[in-house]
Amino acid sequence: MLETELLIKIGIIFLLLLLSAFFAGIESSFFSMDWLKIKRLAKEGKKSAQIADWLRSKPKELVVTFLIGNELVNITASAITSGLVIHYLGKEYLFVAIVIMTILILTFGEITPKTIGSYYPERYALFAARPFYLFYMAITPFRFLFTKLAEYILKKAGLELPVENHKLSEDELLSIISAGTEKKIFTEEEKEVIEAALELHEVAVSEIMTPRRDIFAIEKGKTVREVLEIIREHDYSRIPVYENSLDNIVGILYVKDIIFLKFEGREEKIDRFLRKPYFVPEFTPLLDLMKKFEETKNHIAIVVDEHGTVVGLITFQDILEFIVGDIPEEYEVEEPFLQKLEDNKWRVSGKLEVEILEEDIGIQLPEDYEFDTVAGFILDYLKRFPKEGEEFIYEGYRFKIEKMESNRIISVIIEKISETTEEEKKEGND
């Protein structure tokens, strides 16, 4: 009977040592693992990774759980061992229990499992996440009690606990990004974008603005026709308008506000289409300007110095380009092209110069035309904006609008048709 009781108690001690190893190993793995990898596995739907990621989001509770688990099993194992030694050897040999348990706990309950946990952190954590989560939930009332008791004692001792802050510092975030890039989680381009975004509060608008000498602006009082002619060769979507000098910016002209007047109202003054200009000091951080752009719904700002002199211009696009690299202008399209598809059939861009239609395709254009591009020719011929897929015939050639973006003609299919086909077309129209 005594032997059976002894074996049971030894078995319990062995089980408690296993639990001690379990808690020590998972503690080591949780503080050593690659959290970016765990997050990726969690997003892919791996349940154990989702549990580990959730536990990681509660660091204070996690540490208390580790402590409760470890202390509970170690104290219990030590108490049972001490009882056995006293029962079989006497109180004078109690130090034997202390030596035995110290060796066992340090070797099998701490050093060995923590070494394994640090060598194979992700594997160990994913293996142990589910059972540890059950223990975590089971001791919630005790954890809450011990935490509040500790906070009360610290408060009475005059030690104020800092407010918990889970926000990463910039250096911590940069370290995570660098580690993620090394592990191929982020590309070099993505790393550069994130780093640039983190610098927005340090970079002033004067560092990336268009300087005064390069500002494209027009004078107040011009007509729609004059402005359309001026901007024909430019791809700006928003243009500053000044009166007398560039230091007196009176408004911003959005090209989209006057483009609909291409065929009518061309002699109307642009003054009524001007929007209120937004001015910003040259040392304003880019991050602050982005917030202002969002608040005011502006996309362009005039940069001034301490004396109110215009020193430059900056757009929302400039800030985006600082972060992600070059971005095409709002009304900028691809380079003009002419692509031969087959005999007597071509694909051309809307920005292709009309002279190329005459030289390379042989289309005879009307004399004294005022347009420069294929898109200009189509708008002049139809006297309206075409629809995607629309067709018309001109001088023995069928024009099909292949692609439109808003009111921009992007590409057109031109096909030379036979005289018979053209005559049949005319007869059909008659």
DSSP 134-201: HHHHHTHHHHHHHHHHHHHHHHHTT-PPPPP--PPPHHHHHHHHHHHHHTTSS-HHHHHHHHHHHTTT
Lowest mean pLDDT: which of 113-127, 164-178, 210-224, 274-288? 164-178
Q: CATH number of the domain at 281, please.
A: 3.10.580.10
Q: Is residue 77 part of a domain?
A: yes
User: Is the same domain home to 26 and 113?
Assistant: yes
Identify the domain containing residue 13 by its residue range.
2-156
- Give the model's pLDDT for residue 406: 63
Q: Residue 239's beta-bridge partner residues? A: 253
* Position 368 pLDDT exceeds 80: no
Q: What is the pLDDT of residue 414?
A: 94
Asked if residue 379 and residue 258 are part of one domain, the reply reads no
Tell me the pLDDT tens digit for each residue of 296-308: 888 899 999 888 8
Contacts with 307 (C-beta within 8 Å, 6 or more apart), sequence order? none
- Specify the length of the chain in residues: 430
Say what the pLDDT of residue 130 is: 93
Q: What digits encode the pLDDT tens for the residues 209-243?
A: 989 988 989 999 888 888 887 777 666 778 999 99
Bridge partner residues of 398 (DSSP): 393, 415
225 located within any domain:
yes
**Do 89 and 18 have their domain in common?**
yes
Give, to the nearest 10 degrees, the angle between helix 59-89 and helix 2-30: 160
Is 12 inside any structural domain?
A: yes
**How far lies 28's CA from each of 40, 132, 406, in Å?**
21, 13, 59
Same domain, 300 and 388: no
Q: Is 407 helix (H, G, I), strand (E, B) or coil?
A: coil
**Same domain, yes or no, for 23 and 130?**
yes
**Three-state secondary structure call for residue 315:** strand
- Asked if residue 421 has pLDDT above 50, the reply is no
Compute and round to an integer the Cα radius of gyration of the chain: 38
Q: What average pLDDT does the segment 138-143 reach? A: 92
Q: In what order do the strands lie in the sheet with 218-219?
A: 218-219, 238-243, 245-254
The rounded mean pLDDT for the chain is: 81
Q: Which CATH number goes with the domain that contains 371?
A: 3.30.465.10
- pLDDT tens figures, 245-304: 999 999 999 887 887 676 565 678 888 889 999 999 999 998 889 888 888 888 899 999
- pLDDT at site 389: 92
- The answer to whether 299 touches 316, Cβ cutoff 8 Å, is yes
Q: Which pLDDT score is estimated for 44?
A: 83
Question: What pLDDT score was predicted for residue 193?
Answer: 67
Q: Which of 324, 351, 386 corresponds to the end of one domain?
A: 324
Q: In 277-337, where do the E strands start and end? A: 279-281, 300-304, 310-315
What pairing do the DSSP bridges indicate for beta strands 345-349 and 408-416? antiparallel
Is the distance from CB of 217 to CB of 251 less than 8 angstroms? no
Query: Is the model's pTM score more than 0.85?
Result: no
